[in-house]
């Protein structure tokens, strides 16, 4: 909306002092012509914005033009800025709104708090894009138009029509009653009901969405944390899941737990290694997870998994045992 853009333009000038039309256009993701029209609109509305010509010129506000947000102490301001650095908002299509909100928060802070809070926030990094092993943590993209429709239906309590691409299925249209939204590891999920049954949809698999005028059939209040735990439990105990007994080096325990669905039992052997009973989504998931651990783990049961891992190891040994002539 233009009103939001005008506010963001004023706040950018408040924080940076002077910016060229090109710089403002980049920040606001509009054309320079749009920026010039917005500057004219601000001037007509009485906002003291003026142009400075020359090589290092640009647009600026007269000193002292600001508002203050009172009642925030430095720790509260820091908490807001750190929260604004989280990437979960991207999963719901709220990234640009969050950036705009953080800009307003920083500008509205009393001057005595502003520099302290902003400087402290710069020294905290939450959920970087890569881990220590340079593995890229890829956030799933959800088109803004789809995210907006889903959000409107969730907040308004209306039914939602989605074109959904489930795994290994042809995309289908379905009408659901949205309950709430959850984000975990930069993946967004829609919790809903369909014909009275609980359903969970990954937002990145929604190909199209349309808010309907009919009211959703859902309770007036919801405990999303509890609902998510219950659905997670059903997910871990259903489908083609397999249970594996594994003996492993405790140094690799966390690595296994990061891939397994659940740990059913755990005990230490006399030599210090661990013996765990864990579940995986299916046989391929189990074989992949144990293969990643190499000689740091041994699958004790079931026998088909031991056989699969042995056959894979034999094939690798045969491949690399052969002479190579380049």
The secondary structure of 110-155, three-state, reads CHHHHHHHHHHHCCCCCCCCECCCCCECCCCCCCHHHHHHHHHHHH
What are 311-324's pLDDT values in tens digits? 999 999 998 887 66
What are 123-165's pLDDT values in tens digits? 656 566 666 666 666 667 788 889 889 988 998 899 999 999 9
Between CA 299 and CA 293 the distance in angstroms is 11
Contact in structure between 282 and 240 (CB atoms under 8 Å): yes
59-83 average pLDDT score: 61
- Beta strands (DSSP E) in the chain are 18-19, 49-52, 58-61, 158-164, 172-184, 187-194, 197-202, 206-215, 242-248, 262-268, 274-280, 297-301
The pTM assigned to this predicted structure is 0.51
Between CA 37 and CA 40 the distance in angstroms is 5
Degrees (nearest 5) of the Cα angle 89, 260, 170? Answer: 65
What are 256-294's pLDDT values in tens digits? 988 888 888 999 999 999 999 999 888 888 999 999 999
What's the token pair of residue 162? 């989605």
């Amino acid at each position: 909306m233009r009103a939001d853009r005008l506010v963001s333009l004023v706040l950018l000038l408040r924080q940076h002092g002077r910016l060229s039309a090109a710089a403002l256009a980049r920040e606001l993701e509009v054309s320079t012509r749009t920026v010039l029209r917005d500057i004219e609109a601000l001037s007509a509305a009485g906002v003291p914005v003026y142009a400075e010509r020359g090589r290092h010129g640009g647009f600026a506000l007269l000193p002292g033009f600001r508002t203050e947000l009172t009642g925030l102490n430095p720790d509260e301001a820091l908490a807001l800025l750190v929260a604004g650095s989280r990437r979960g908002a991207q999963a719901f299509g709220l990234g640009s709104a969050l950036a705009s909100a953080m800009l307003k928060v920083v500008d509205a802070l009393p001057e005595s708090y502003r520099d302290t809070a902003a400087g402290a926030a710069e020294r905290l990094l939450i959920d970087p894009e890569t881990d220590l092993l340079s593995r890229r943590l890829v956030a799933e993209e959800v088109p803004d138009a789809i995210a907006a429709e889903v959000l409107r239906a969730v907040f308004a309590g209306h039914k939602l029509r989605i074109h959904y691409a489930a795994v290994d299925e042809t995309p289908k249209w379905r009408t659901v009653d949205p309950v709430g939204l959850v984000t975990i590891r930069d993946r967004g999920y829609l919790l809903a009901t369909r014909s009275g049954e609980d359903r969970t949809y990954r937002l990145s698999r929604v190909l199209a969405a349309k808010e309907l005028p009919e009211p959703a059939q859902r309770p007036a209040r919801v405990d999303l944390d509890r609902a998510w735990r219950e659905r997670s439990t059903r997910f871990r105990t259903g489908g083609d899941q397999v249970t594996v007994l594994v003996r492993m080096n405790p140094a690799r325990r966390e690595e296994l737990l990061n891939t397994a669905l659940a740990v059913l039992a755990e005990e230490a052997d006399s030599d210090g290694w661990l013996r765990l009973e864990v579940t995986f989504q299916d046989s391929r998931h189990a074989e992949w997870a144990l293969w990643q651990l190499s000689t740091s783990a041994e699958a004790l049961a079931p026998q088909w998994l031991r056989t699969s891992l042995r056959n894979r190891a034999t094939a690798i040994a045969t491949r690399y045992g052969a002479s190579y002539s380049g």
